A and B are shown apart, each in its own frame.
Chain A
């Protein structure tokens, strides 16, 4: 078998050996026909790969759909999104495969560092890979096109995963999860496990909107807002706390790391795992989330058991506003204690956050289409939520009734108008 490096690829003995091992272990159309094998090198991240065709019956034996970002670490979990085997697109794919359609550009990495019986770690086209394996059951076995990467490092692997999925409906949560592990390791996950947001051995969801768990974006936002609030609190006297509009922050999601989060993680890193104030804030927030969840679940006659009501605390604006105020009040123990208390429930307010009332809320300055308090991640909504929690911290016996919510929002609108530029 002849293995050549393409003219733009820097020759590498290690890569050549690995490619030889791959073509020896896995039968391809190219090796069967005695065609020369070409090794390419990516111009952006310098990764090496080759292109070949493998029979579905052979590929299916070696394919691993549980590819990991950190190949040598047992703490690294499956990185790809969950397979959507009932999705219409997949069903069409499967039907086509069973009728003999040939697929191309299935992206794999040849990696024998874990699950050595399945060295073809799929990074792009996991649904196609699954579909061609299924088609074998229909007696259809044909060659499919593969792009096989060799000896990827963690950063190259993440990028391969990202670029292989940009044309698909891969959620930002999946990208976040991959980038988080690549850039910062497991610190965020460990922090969430320590607080209780995630169970031991549990990972962030690949599609936050479908799950009822904290996502990477939410966990990052919580930490960023805690520190932003903490910094702001150091610059404001206690008696001035209620004269400001606060601007909590939503961590960006997707193919790049949010700048604020990046800054904080470079400054704090693993220290967040032992930051007492932050851990306490996380635990108190989790208590609020659980209380909200339970109250909605057990009160179907008083409040609709909707996911958006159960998980009201995990709505971006609510989580950001709450965590910002937790940071802000670190130097004001009395108000911090009040902030950490679960809002009172009454016969008319069945859940602590009064999710239904919030969703019907509208200030005179809002357009008729406004969808309620704590429903959007706009700056206006997050400022209002922060004010709701700040106002709540004034007393230890607060209930989120309509009057209270109205007063809190009035304060934001009033302060903004005083400073001019309300939009």
Chain B
């Protein structure tokens, strides 16, 4: 079972391979950026799992819907008729999960979406989307410096979540 530290280290390894590559650096930079993003996904999902493993009545239904990535459905028939239940899988965005975790456990008094870290996080998200949803008329324009920047962003986002949820800094 890999964890965020593994993904971060793989990401860095790919950047190093790109540095050594003379001709086509892109083939190493693309996986590096994806892995930087995966590290955030892994870290966030695992924290969500920590809460999902707790007795159900410790959270509201809509919170569990987010934790378990399931849709809240209104039951119209059968013995549970008239109740709400979590049924089909409904994947949630990692941004939403972070927003939830910070709102639920963090102690932030002001919105943070306008701050540099969040802007960099959105930048990483956008480049990840570009890689995963390629178009003929789209240039990736990736460089080694940018890849290092995305790796740093990934670590900073993970640290941000850790400090707000666990009240502790983590070591990478």
Q: Do A420 and B1 touch (CB < 8 A)? A: no
Q: Do B53 and A411 touch (CB < 8 A)? A: yes
> Chain B residues with Cβ under 8 A from A415's Cβ?
54
Q: Is B91 an interface residue (CB 8 A)?
A: no
Chain B, interface residues (CB within 8 Å), range: 20 to 34
Q: A418–B51 Cα gap in the complex (Å)? A: 8
Q: Give the contact stretch, choosing among B26-34, B122-130, B134-142, B159-167.
A: B159-167
Q: Do B170 and A367 touch (CB < 8 A)? A: yes
Q: Given A410-B49, A417-B165, A420-B105, A367–B55 Cβ distance below 8 Å?
A: no
Q: Is A4 an interface residue (CB 8 A)?
A: no
Q: Do B171 and A364 touch (CB < 8 A)? A: no
Q: Do B170 and A417 touch (CB < 8 A)? A: no
Q: Is A414 an interface residue (CB 8 A)?
A: yes
Q: A361–B162 Cα gap in the complex (Å)? A: 20
Q: Do B170 and A365 touch (CB < 8 A)? A: yes
Q: Do B53 and A368 touch (CB < 8 A)? A: no
Q: Is B47 an interface residue (CB 8 A)?
A: yes
Q: Is B23 an interface residue (CB 8 A)?
A: no
Q: Is B150 an interface residue (CB 8 A)?
A: no
Q: Is B4 an interface residue (CB 8 A)?
A: yes
Of chain B, the residue at the smallest CB distance from A362 is: B3
> Chain B residues with Cβ under 8 A from A362's Cβ?
3
Of chain A, the residue at the smallest CB distance from B45 is: A364
> Chain A residues with Cβ under 8 A from B172's Cβ?
368
A residues 373-423 touching B (CB-CB < 8 Å) = 402, 406-407, 410-411, 413-415, 417-418, 420-423
> Chain B residues with Cβ under 8 A from A414's Cβ?
50-51, 53-54
> Chain A residues with Cβ under 8 A from B168's Cβ?
365, 422-423
> Chain B residues with Cβ under 8 A from A280's Cβ?
none
B residues 48-81 touching A (CB-CB < 8 Å) = 49-51, 53-55, 58
A-B contact pairs, 23 of them (CB 8 A): A243-B55, A243-B58, A364-B43, A364-B46, A365-B166, A365-B168, A365-B170, A368-B5, A368-B171, A402-B1, A410-B50, A411-B50, A411-B54, A413-B50, A415-B54, A417-B50, A418-B51, A418-B54, A418-B58, A420-B105, A420-B167, A421-B167, A423-B167
Minimal beta-carbon separation of B107 from chain A (angstroms): 9
Q: Is A275 an interface residue (CB 8 A)?
A: no
B interface residues with partner A (beta carbon < 8 Å):
1, 3-5, 43, 46-47, 49-51, 53-55, 58, 105, 162, 165-168, 170-172
Of chain B, the residue at the smallest CB distance from A411 is: B53
Q: Do B53 and A410 touch (CB < 8 A)? A: yes
Chain A, residues 314-328, CB within 8 Å of chain B (1/0): the string is 000000000000000
Q: Is A242 an interface residue (CB 8 A)?
A: yes
Q: A422–B163 Cα gap in the complex (Å)? A: 10
Known: A368-B172, A414-B54, A417-B165. 16 other contacts (CB 8 A): A243-B54, A243-B55, A243-B58, A364-B4, A365-B166, A367-B170, A407-B53, A410-B49, A410-B50, A410-B53, A411-B50, A413-B50, A414-B53, A417-B51, A417-B166, A422-B166
> Chain B residues with Cβ under 8 A from A411's Cβ?
50, 53-54
Q: A415–B58 Cα gap in the complex (Å)? A: 9
Q: A406–B47 Cα gap in the complex (Å)? A: 12
Q: Given A420-B105, A422-B168, A364–B55 Cβ distance below 8 Å?
A: no
A residues 341-379 touching B (CB-CB < 8 Å) = 362, 364-365, 367-368
Of chain B, the residue at the smallest CB distance from A412 is: B50
Minimal beta-carbon separation of B158 from chain A (angstroms): 9
> Chain A residues with Cβ under 8 A from B54's Cβ?
243, 411, 414-415, 418
Q: Do B162 and A365 touch (CB < 8 A)? A: yes
Q: A187–B171 Cα gap in the complex (Å)? A: 47
Of chain B, the residue at the smallest CB distance from A409 is: B50
Q: A154–B58 Cα gap in the complex (Å)? A: 55
Q: Do B3 and A364 touch (CB < 8 A)? A: yes
> Chain A residues with Cβ under 8 A from B55's Cβ?
242-243
> Chain B residues with Cβ under 8 A from A421's Cβ?
167
Of chain B, the residue at the smallest CB distance from A367 is: B171
Q: Do A422 and B167 touch (CB < 8 A)? A: yes
Of chain A, the residue at the smallest CB distance from B165 is: A417
Q: A420–B165 Cα gap in the complex (Å)? A: 8
> Chain A residues with Cβ under 8 A from B166's Cβ?
365, 417, 422-423
Minimal beta-carbon separation of A393 from chain B (angstroms): 15
Q: A417–B53 Cα gap in the complex (Å)? A: 13
Q: A315–B150 Cα gap in the complex (Å)? A: 43
> Chain A residues with Cβ under 8 A from B53's Cβ?
407, 410-411, 414
Of chain A, the residue at the smallest CB distance from B54 is: A414
Q: A420–B43 Cα gap in the complex (Å)? A: 19
Q: A57–B3 Cα gap in the complex (Å)? A: 68
Q: A416–B45 Cα gap in the complex (Å)? A: 18
Of chain A, the residue at the smallest CB distance from B43 is: A364
Of chain B, the residue at the smallest CB distance from A365 is: B166
A residues 201-250 touching B (CB-CB < 8 Å) = 242-243
Minimal beta-carbon separation of A172 from chain B (angstroms): 31
Q: A196–B49 Cα gap in the complex (Å)? A: 41
> Chain A residues with Cβ under 8 A from B50's Cβ?
410-411, 413-414, 417
Q: A414–B1 Cα gap in the complex (Å)? A: 20
A residues 242-291 touching B (CB-CB < 8 Å) = 242-243
Of chain A, the residue at the smallest CB distance from B44 is: A364
Q: A418–B104 Cα gap in the complex (Å)? A: 9
Q: Do A417 and B46 touch (CB < 8 A)? A: no
> Chain A residues with Cβ under 8 A from B58's Cβ?
243, 418
